[in-house]
Structure 1
């Protein structure tokens, strides 16, 4: 098991140094033979990379002492970490100051509005009045924007919203309407909400010297689980209201002369994505520069792929985290990493997206002393107690899922192109110059697999393994996938 890393140990060890000893040459043992046949004649568009949503962990960890937050940023965006290049910034809605706190730790992302003293009701906000804005809000999450910009040569930033501010909602809460099937944005508020989002995008771009390439104005919109009793921000949007909001957001961005495009619909799964898309009029579809879909359900993923292809729109898998259901928290366990890795492989094969974005990289530790909150099983790549920034120590627990992620993100790099592979458990990508092939193979079974590359002249030059005893460790180039393992093969092509 990987032990908790205290601040002092983190300062002394890089992510690369944390990998275990090299994988030895496999001993002779019964195995099945499997030939992997990548179709190098059908490469996809250039892959843009990997990343995470900054909600909610960045709202917590961005306020931690420098040694802790810098180490976290290195783990995810540093060249010796996961090498991520994408970040999704959450523009908070924000509840009324008098509302009793009810959102889960980290989920209470503040809004950028300010309500002057004596203002009552929900029609007081005037976006043209500078006194109605609070540009010092959300300092912790914004710290991550600067940290990523310092580490990544050409980062891709996206802004996204989970809910309008409370005073634009029907329920008066950012967690949703009273019923999960009811839209929570008050009728006729689309333009005001769009003005809010576009103004925040504009101000943060200038303040942090970054570019938000896209703005996603709705999140998992056509679901039935955004209701007022929730403990996180969320809002239901019917396809008709989604279209109105997309139109309004696009107009607001253009009115400010911003080049930021619209991403939509950030639906929770492909089945609902297709339903949303069917409800958009042609003029709304034309405003969308990027299609975002989550993969919390895998039905109809190829339908989403075909929509993106047919309309010539860039496609992201913009949110997922998949631990094994009811798997007890175990930083070193292999069960959840295998489920996660299989999910990534299938997403890449079925959706063929140009980016794959994690939900939140740091999750609360279930058993954290003094945290006072239940955690999330094996959600997240790093586990920490969400404790006050003033605490003396903030132990970081790197889970084996982190190393499962490394099997993909360290080797399928921006500019690589996904290629079809005729094996359900393998995803492939070819380098920009066509001289290198990367294959990531997941063997969730108990029988070893001897792998053959079905490409003339192909030569395995590196083999990287994460299993129950190794963490993204390099070793023998014998192309064998051990039981219950994730194996990355780097292959030289003629």
Structure 2
């Protein structure tokens, strides 16, 4: 199905009322999970990987400042490879020669640690650190599965049933010790600080079963409580100031279910609430938990592709879908950070197939000289992340296609509007002062533009113009 063509020139008026007197908490920024794509691209030739890092974290790229590092579990060396390309994240353990079984782990033996593991993803830690101002850098570590020798199934992809926990009973302290030691050693070696550590990922779902092709583990709320308290104990024991983030649940409704199932002591050790937004319902319920507890809230993972739209680097529909996801998350969940799942996804080489996940596509199987394909989704992301920077405060707004953020200077603000329709929209925004007192710069991503400045000047009395099928940013500044 082809992308729909815009209708004949005709404008629709949209009235927008921001609540200027109710700014949200300071926004912390944008980023991505490193994980699979970093595992692959961190091993590319220097020119390609440096270019990718500039595109994502460079000042002239997306300007992201958040990176989530995946601490791998790692399958047994003799396991037949079955994980999807890039998802075979190495663990940092080293099994002694000639040893078999699962009871050999002795973490106080330095010979059983392999700090040269996971070179690709670790390269990205340095790439982010050297591109992002230190005051804005935020690193988070997260785990998808314990190492194979701590699991029931002996595999990092899950138990035989996706509804059964895969951590061996009684291994909570050993798993916590593994995560904390890796976190602190990576800090030391890469001169960074992991502000948070997330021990479980999408825990209370049926996704993680042994035949799956990525790392994952089911965790009942009762087991989540045990692990969270064990990680807190390990962090305190090491004198670390890293906070615990949780539960990185797949959607808001399951997050609420997990929260209700945690014991009070487990809730108390959580410093940051992490929720994924792979569904549209329940976001305000998670927002309310954050408000009631006073805990920091992140939207820590999501990506998506519109139904029926095959891989197409220039189709606006994936860009519109991404833009609407961000707007919904910001306005309803009200997180202090927004983090994409995988910024770079594997390019499908067969014509007419593949999805539009990711912002950049490349052939993961070609590690010698892959083509880097920047999609229109990347430009739509830039409409948000280049202009809404750390320290900005989002305002409540009554339009479901718009976000409004006040910049830290207090004299300017940013409006991003997603127009998924076929008609131009004229946005009548209720400004805090007379319209004649502002200048506006308009940046457009649509079928003809990729995050380009298309207009600048005094604010038009008729309102702000958003083209059809576009993500449009307006930088509005008070005139001196």
TM-score by length of 2: 0.94
* 2:325 paired residue number: 343
* 1:457 paired residue number: 434
1:264 aligns with 2:240: no
* 1:218 paired residue number: 200
Could you give the per-residue CA deviations for residues 265-319 of structure 1, whole angstroms, max 9, x where no partner exists? 0000000000000011111111000000000012110000000011000000000
- Give, in whole Å, the separation in 2 of the partners of 1:299 and 1:397: 33
* 1:377 paired residue number: 355
Could you give the per-residue CA deviations for residues 203-252 of structure 1, whole angstroms, max 9, x where no partner exists? 00000000000000000000011000000000000000001000001111
Contact 1:434 1:493 in 2 (8 A): no
Structure 1 regions of 5+ residues with no counterpart? 1-27
SS at match of 1:178: coil
* 2:3 paired residue number: none
CA shift, 1:340, in A, is: 1.1
Contact 2:418 2:472 in 1 (8 A): yes
- Give, in whole Å, the separation in 1 of the partners of 2:62 and 2:245: 25
Structure 2 regions of 5+ residues with no counterpart? 1-7
Aligned positions of 1:320-469 closer than 5 A = 320-367=302-349, 376-389=354-367, 391=368, 393-455=369-431, 456-458=433-435, 459-469=438-448
* 1:475 paired residue number: 454
1:49 aligns with 2:29: yes
Contact 1:266 1:318 in 2 (8 A): yes
Contact 2:12 2:424 in 1 (8 A): yes
Could you give the per-residue CA deviations for residues 125-169 of structure 1, whole angstroms, max 9, x where no partner exists? 011111111011001100000010000013100000000000000
CA shift, 1:453, in A, is: 2.1
| Aligned length in residues | 463
- Give, in whole Å, the separation in 2 of the partners of 1:471 and 1:429: 22
SS at match of 1:452: strand
* 2:90 paired residue number: 110
SS at match of 1:56: helix
* 2:51 paired residue number: 71
SS at match of 1:475: strand
Select which of 60, 65, 69 maps to 2:40: 60
Q: Where do 4+ consecutive residues of structure 1 move more than 3 Å? A: none
- Give, in whole Å, the separation in 1 of the partners of 2:218 and 2:103: 21
SS at match of 1:97: coil
- Give, in whole Å, the separation in 2 of the partners of 1:40 and 1:482: 26
1:487 aligns with 2:467: no
TM-score by length of 1: 0.92
SS at match of 2:299: strand
Contact 1:146 1:208 in 2 (8 A): yes
CA shift, 1:457, in A, is: 2.6
- Give, in whole Å, the separation in 2 of the partners of 1:481 and 1:86: 29
Could you give the per-residue CA deviations for residues 355-381 of structure 1, whole angstroms, max 9, x where no partner exists? 000001100001169xxxx98510000
